[in-house]
Chains A and B, each alone.
Chain A
Amino acid sequence: MLNYKVVAGPEGYLPPAAASRGVVLPEKGKALVEGYAVPEEEAMLTVVKKLLNAENPVFFPGPLLLWDWKEGIREKAKEVKELTEVLGARIIPMPDYRPKYPMINPEIEINPNHPNLTIWHNNIDVCVFIGVHCHYANVALKIIRGGTSCYTIALCAEMGHEDAMISLREVGLGKIKALKEIAIKVKKEGQE
């Protein structure tokens, strides 16, 4: 029986992997919100509201999205850029995963080996992972949950991430466009 909620930290040094507490990845058509599977549309609306209500929302695009390495990536990059503009979110890139020494510049980049530095430095309250390879997203999401109070959202192209507070699965061009439409709609409703 699941009773573990994946909520913003700081949960402390070495937080448990959500999977070890019974959180399982969502089935098709579902998404994870704080450890619980919910219908995808509901999760998408929550994502949009979280970002629109955030003080400093930031997207962290990873190498799979930053580099033009295969057909279709540029279209996806364009949509993500437009989505950030609609949501009023900043972009801080994760260009690669090297454990850069002596240190990264947390003002302009994020590194999966110490993502907390970028979160702390920029006072980020809600962040979005997109285009980050699974294993590095898992590591970074756990570190963020362990040491910061940042609310994490993973827009995953595969099956999702248990350690994000909200995780959508199989996010391609269509779902990014859908998120943008929801964001435009929610913003319009807020103005009326």
Chain B
Amino acid sequence: MVKRIFKMCPEFEDVMPEEYKQLVEDGPYGREKGVTDLGSFKELIEEHPLCAGCGLALSLRLIIASIPVPEDTIIVGSTGCSSLLFPQVAIQNIHSIFGNQNAVATGLKRAMKLRFPDKTKDVVVIAGDGATADIGLGMVMQSWFRREHITTIMLDNEAYANTGGQESGMSYEKKVLNMAPTGKKFPKICLPEVAREAGCDYVATVSPGKPKRVQNAVRQAVLTAREVGPSYIQIYSPCPTNYKFKSNQTNAVAKEREKEGTYRMVEYVSDKARDYFKQFKGEEKHAKCN
């Protein structure tokens, strides 16, 4: 990547909006950052339009802080609440048509390999539960079957949230939502297990209630996708608007669901991935490689 693209022509510095100056000075590129550094650098431009207390916004911030080499990472997004936030993300990203995200990421990863044969470029899909588990499930699973070297991250808010609150495949059984007044009639899709059986070498479910775990999962998933095979992370991102809780309760809700066992936190690592991780044992920044 040409990092000069993030340098302004001095002639126009005086007219550039402040947020761009801050992105150049304090953005995530070329730095070793983690979730504990959030607030000390500019991972997100201000004024994103998501609701107060949105679990998805919090999860996305944690992901960005955890991505090992942001300047060599491309995020592929999809339609949904998260797509309203992506324009504000300080990492290069591509929006794809609803459900197409893993197909777009596949092409992108292959093109990157041809274009930069001597450099590792990480392609990370970040999409909501509707795009991943419902509308785009075919694309998602086919990319796993093909063993594409991409990381798929689902921001699971258990609903189609920005269209008024319809149930998704990831809503839990009997859940009543604004646009699902009689309650959901079938259980939550067990996508982590589907991912494992479909060939993902690293699978984890996490929540922003435990930021360090999010960071470890993201780094291990990206590392797996680089060298071993496809990886999948499911981040429970509670939705205060559709699940009707106070906006300051997001992390508490996430922790409570984990504690009561209604949102299972799991981790599946294939033997190949486990063997691969062994060589990095004791190296804290193993995913930094390149």
* Interface residues of A, Cβ cutoff 8 Å to B: 61, 65-70, 73-74, 77-78, 80-81, 91-93, 95, 98-102, 105, 108-109
Q: Which residues of B contact A108 (CB under 8 A)?
A: 15, 17
Interface range, B side:
20 to 34
Residue B283 at the chain A interface, CB threshold 8 Å: no
B8 touches A67 (CB 8 A): yes
Query: Out of A80, A81, A93, A101, which one reaches B16, CB within 8 Å?
Result: A93
Smallest CB-CB A-B distances: 8 pairs: A77-B9, A98-B87, A81-B11, A77-B11, A101-B49, A102-B49, A68-B7, A69-B5
Partner among A67, A81, A91, A105 whose Cβ is within 8 Å of the Cβ of B5: A67
Contact between chains at B87 and A101 (CB < 8 Å)? yes
In the bound complex, residues from chain B placing their C-beta under 8 Å from that of A109 are 17
Name, among B6, B84, B87, the residue most crowded by chain A CB atoms within 10 Å (CB to CB).
B87
Q: Given known contacts A67-B9, A69-B5, is B17 in contact with A105 (CB within 8 Å)? A: yes
Residues of B within 8 A of A100 (CB): 87-88
Q: Would you call the interface of chain B mostly helix, strand, loop, or mixed?
A: helix
Given A68-B8, A69-B5, A108-B15, 6 additional A-B pairs, CB 8 A: A67-B6, A70-B4, A99-B87, A101-B88, A108-B17, A109-B17
A99's nearest neighbour on chain B, judged by CB, is B87
Whether B48 sits at the interface, judged by CB under 8 Å, is yes
Q: When A93-B17, A108-B17 are in contact, do A101 and B12 touch as well, CB less than 8 Å?
A: no
Complex CA–CA separation, A70 to B9 (angstroms): 11
The residues in B between 1 and 33 inclusive whose CB is less than 8 angstroms from any CB of A are: 2, 4-12, 15-17, 20
**Most chain A C-beta atoms within 10 Å of own C-beta, residue among B11, B20, B48, B87:** B11
With A93-B17, A95-B17 as given contacts, are A74 and B87 in contact (CB-CB < 8 Å)?
no
User: What's the nearest-Cβ distance from chain B to residue A79, in Å?
Assistant: 9
A74 touches B11 (CB 8 A): yes
CB-CB < 8 A to A78: which residues of B?
11
